[in-house]
Amino acid sequence: HPAGQVMKADILGIYIKQHLDAWEGDNVMFSWHGGELLLAGLDFYRKVIGLQKEYNREGKRIINAIQTNGMLLDNEWCSFLSENGFIVGLSIDGTAELHNMHRKSAAGIASHNPVLKAWDLLKLYNISHELLFVVSNTNVAFPLDVYNFFRERAAEYITFLPLVEREGDNEVSPGSVDPLKFGQFLVSIFDAWKAEDIGRIKIQVFEEALRTAFGQEHTLCIFRKECGGVPLLEKNGNFYTCDHYADNENLVGNIRESSLTTLLLSRKQTDFGRHKETSLPLYCRQCEVIDMCNGECPRNRFVNTPDGEPLHNYLCPGYMMLFNHIRPFADMVATAWKSTPV
């Protein structure tokens, strides 16, 4: 939100204290969201750090994460982010030609060069960061151009975010990525990654799929059996079941009236999380790669299965293509891991 629309100091203080109290474990994650986050200004984040230090009575390790388009990143920002251990998600859609199709400044100027400078600053200040690439119908045809761009610039962590914009009940916008093309995009990149870059570049969707080889639970909410672990807290203190469902139906309460712990453990929140699994169509339950996908995000479940069941994921054909392609490699990794002496 613009500077005048950030969370007020009183609610910010309540939230930070309750978040620290509610978090189990020694490492506490704060994920800040809302438009272009740097527009909130450095003073807002200085206030955040001050309140975190004030309420962190148990000496827990605090990690703050923000996402930015990079246009406002400069030495002052990066010095602050580095000193306070922030993790930064930087939006960059690959090559200049692809990126500048949709990402321009408020003045209509191509933004690729400023974003590259922002990326260089993140590296210079040794700030942990991930690169966020939105896969749309305009760039999905260029997987290796995209991947080689990131490789050549020594990317370390990449997240591919499929663009799915609903129009009506089960239609999508012209810019939304086609599911099968999305699957082929990821398959092409997986093959290039497997050939040369395992252990050098982390790609979120591949890392998540390969967790199944080690019998590990998914870390990313969209692939977990149940969701509800990434709720949304708005600037007025309203608590929603998920950051994709900020509507009255999914309003759980307000932290000025109920503690964060109470809201997290509420029947409404837990029912929301369980509904992800209980609402899965039979078609999904019988899928050979259900352990890699678990139906993905409920917000994308708005089409019918091939046999007519509702609540099927729009992206299913693409994820099915990818995960079936990954499965032989995952099985090989699992076999090698199980046979390795402890």
Active site residue 10: no
- Stated length of the chain: 342
Give 104's DSSP letter.
Answer: B
Give the max Cα distance, the chain. 60
The Cα 341–Cα 331 span in angstroms is: 18
Which of helix, strand or coil describes residue 20?
helix
Residue 161, φ and ψ in degrees, nearest 5: -110, 110
Give 178's DSSP letter.
Answer: P
Region of 240 please: left (phi>0), alpha (psi -120 to 50) or beta: beta
- From the centroid of its chain, how far is CA 96? 23
Burial of 168 by CB count in 10 Å (0-12 exposed, 13-18 middle, 19+ buried)? exposed
List own/partner pairs for 327-336 with CB under 8 A and 24 or more apart: 327/288, 327/289, 327/292, 329/194, 329/210, 330/209, 330/210, 330/212, 330/213, 330/292, 331/213, 333/210, 333/213, 333/214, 334/212, 334/213, 334/214
Is there a contact between 38 and 73 (Cβ–Cβ < 8 Å)?
yes
The Cα 314–Cα 258 span in angstroms is: 36
Query: From the candidates 191, 197, 243, 291, which is the catalytic residue?
Result: 243
The Cα 116–Cα 103 span in angstroms is: 13
Query: Which parts of the chain fold into alpha helices (H)?
Result: 9-22, 42-55, 75-83, 96-102, 112-124, 143-152, 179-196, 204-210, 260-264, 267-278, 282-285, 290-293, 316-339
Query: Active-site residue numbers?
Result: 243
